[in-house]
Amino acid sequence: MLEELKQRVYEANMLLPKYGLVTFTWGNVSEIDRESGLFAIKPSGVDYDKLTPEDMVIVDLNGNKVEGKYNPSSDTATHVELYKAFPEIGGIVHTHSSYATSWAQAGRGIPCYGTTHADYIYGEVPCLRCLTKEEIEEAYEENTGHLIVNEFKAMNKDPKAVPAVLCKNHGPFAWGKDAHEAVHNAVVLEEVAKMAYRAETINQRIQPAPQELQDKHYYRKHGANAYYGQNGGK
């Protein structure tokens, strides 16, 4: 069942080594079929160069494995919580990509310093707090999902406009309308994290890009008046 979904999720997972976002097995991508409420996700700890489409694991929104010979990613419970709370997203990716993870380790959100960022992400990429000892011990991966959801609500952030987050001392999650767009956003996040790192070194009194420039670039590519690419009306 869901062979096309598994193929797409396989291909999206294989983009992670292609774009240099993973070392060894440090990443996973999923995509959900909203009709059935099932999603496909990478199996846990399987090498990318041995991965096949059939290895993808099918999981339901209770986190139960429905099909597959392997255990799903150890981060599956986080994916479940995000799919449940964010009905507008269809794909999720977690990596330990180097620059984004360095910001997460540093415990800082990534300010919007330029249009590369604003073209895809509206405003700062937030870095959340660590889970408490109780949250970790009770249900680490599930509570990671709860924290992302609750903090986005508390910050009044739209997950479509801010398709990425940093978990403190851990690493990034990114998402999109499907697995492919989720990986695309993870690549953007890594580039943005790299440029912000360097920009702060070049100018220690750096300020975020002016709001009107952020708006211009974000809305040049998103929403009713977008004119970037081949779909706009210009």
Residues that bind its own copies (CB under 8 A): 23-24, 26, 43-46, 70-71, 74, 96, 98-99, 101-108, 113-116, 130-131, 133, 136-137, 140, 169-171, 184, 187-188, 191, 194-203, 206, 209-210, 212-213, 216, 220, 227-230, 232, 234
Please answer whether residues 90 and 172 qualify as being in contact, where contact means their C-beta atoms are separated by less than 8 angstroms.
no
Give the active site residues. Answer: 119, 228
Q: Rounded to the nearest whole angstrom, what is the least distance from the CB of residue 139 to its own copies in the complex? A: 11
Token output for 214? 């952020």
Measured from the CB atom, is 58 or 131 closer to its own copies? 131
Q: Is 172 helix (H, G, I), strand (E, B) or coil?
A: strand
- The H or E element that residue 133 is part of is helix 133-154
Contacts (Cβ under 8 Å, ≥6 apart) of 145? 77, 78, 79, 80, 81, 82, 85
Measured from the CB atom, is 7 or 115 closer to its own copies? 115
Q: Rounded to the nearest whole angstrom, what is the least distance from the CB of residue 2 to its own copies in the complex? A: 21
Measured from the CB atom, is 43 or 159 closer to its own copies? 43
Q: Rounded to the nearest whole angstrom, what is the least distance from the CB of residue 107 to its own copies in the complex? A: 6
Contacts (Cβ under 8 Å, ≥6 apart) of 74? 44, 45, 141
